Amino acid sequence: MIRADDFLLVARTQGFDFYSGVPCSFLTPLINRVIGDPATPYVGATSEGEAVAIAAGAWLAGRQTVVMCQNSGLGNTVNPLTSLNAPFRIPVLLVVTWRGQPGRPDEPQHALMGPITPALLDLMQIPNRPFPESVPHLMSAFADARAVMDRYGVPFAFVMAQGAVADEALREAPRAPPSPGMVVDLCRGVVPPRPTRAAVLACVLAMLPKDAAVIATTGKCGRELFTLADRVQHFYLVGAMGGASALGLGVALNTTRPVVVLDGDGAALMRMGNIATIGAHGPCNLIHILLDNGVHDSTGGQATVSAGVSFARVAGACGYTLASVVDTVTDFEEALRQALAQPGPHMIHGRLLPGSMPKLGRPTVKPEEVARRFKDFLKSDVVEKTKG
């Protein structure tokens, strides 16, 4: 058994300085200590998959990251771990508890996941080992994990059994709920046809400052952005549907640059908890643009349920500073101008025509290269400020 302070101290010596996750009773001592340490950034996520995407964004912005979760929640991480971390070669240290470990009776919901936890990590090609339960083992385990992560750019997992960390009290200051934001409906009744996604993306490219980082959700949004202009500050999320806004949060919390997330209605609906987490943490440099054409465009145009959802009202209720609804290019330009002029987070919910550009390309830059050049772009912000 180790103390939570032992873990944090060794983690710091290996450079791990950003945490996200979802609690588990086995994790209680460790997660309590992380939450109570003012020097350790921690983002509590609404789902384990969201935590992985937040950590990936933080890594892109220069952090070394840890995600803590229960093994039952490991299922929620499969998509981002395999379609975000793997193709983009983004490492993260996972601390996964082992509920339902063979030989240790547990609740019925862990009866299947318990025995298959190590095998599931192996199947995802994530190197893993038992959580270290003594300080000497802790130091060697961290050194081994960091060496593998640095060399191969892959996640590494510690699998934590019950009782691995000594009890630790929760010292968490009460979190004041964010104040509701302003919601503005700029729609004009759709007298002219609604704009295409490409037309809105062209406005984004024309209006954003050169120091803005842009994250495009999976599917035709990223493909159209690449076709219009490929820039080092663009991150094309080719997988991990629903993870763009969480990735953007991880970036925004760790840079002073403007961070713009280009989201879709289907993706946003998949992980609406991301909106609550963004509102709670209130990154003033984040602009969340929701491009809503009412369909799953990449798979044949099947309808989503977005017609009955007011994303702007949801964002405003969750604490976004300003949430605007638009359905023309002119009003989108005005909403983006306002968002760039005042602290956020902001949401711009644009209702669009379905469909895409007739000659639509795909990113020809490999995901790993996209991640490294995007990370270098974000790092240049630090270099410039240091020089100044």
Long-range contacts of 135-139 (CB under 8 A, 24+ apart): 135/2, 135/6, 135/10, 138/2, 138/6, 138/7, 138/10, 139/10
At position 365, the amino acid (one-letter code) is: V
Q: Kindly report the average pLDDT of the chain as a whole number.
A: 94
| Mean pLDDT value across residues 167-173 | 89
Q: Is the dihedral of CA 215, 216, 222, 224 positive or negative?
A: negative
Dig out the tokens for 275 from the structure.
């909106």
The reported pLDDT for the residue numbered 361 is: 86
Dig out the tokens for 357 from the structure.
């550009």
Q: What is the pLDDT of residues 324-379, one digit of tens each?
A: 999 999 999 999 999 999 999 999 999 999 999 888 889 999 999 999 999 999 99
The reported pLDDT for the residue numbered 177 is: 84
- Checking if the pLDDT of 277 tops 80, the result is yes
Q: In what order do the strands lie in the sheet with 156-160?
A: 42-44, 16-21, 64-69, 93-97, 156-160, 128-130
CATH class belonging to 182-380 = alpha beta
For domain 4-160, the question of CATH label 3.40.50.970 is answered with yes
User: Phi-psi bin for 294: left (phi > 0), alpha (psi -120 to 50), beta?
Assistant: left
Q: Residues of 6-20 as b/e, b for ≥16 C-beta within 10 angstroms?
A: bbbebbeebebbbbb
Taking the domains of the chain in order of start, what are their residue ranges?
Answer: 4-160, 182-380
DSSP-H helix ranges across the chain? 4-13, 28-36, 48-60, 74-80, 86-88, 113-123, 135-152, 197-207, 220-228, 244-252, 265-270, 273-281, 311-318, 329-341, 367-387
The reply to whether 4-160 and 182-380 are identical in fold is yes
The reported pLDDT for the residue numbered 367 is: 98
pTM of the model: 0.95
Q: Is the peptide bond before 345 cis (omega within 30 degrees of 0)?
A: yes
- Checking if the pLDDT of 173 tops 90, the result is no
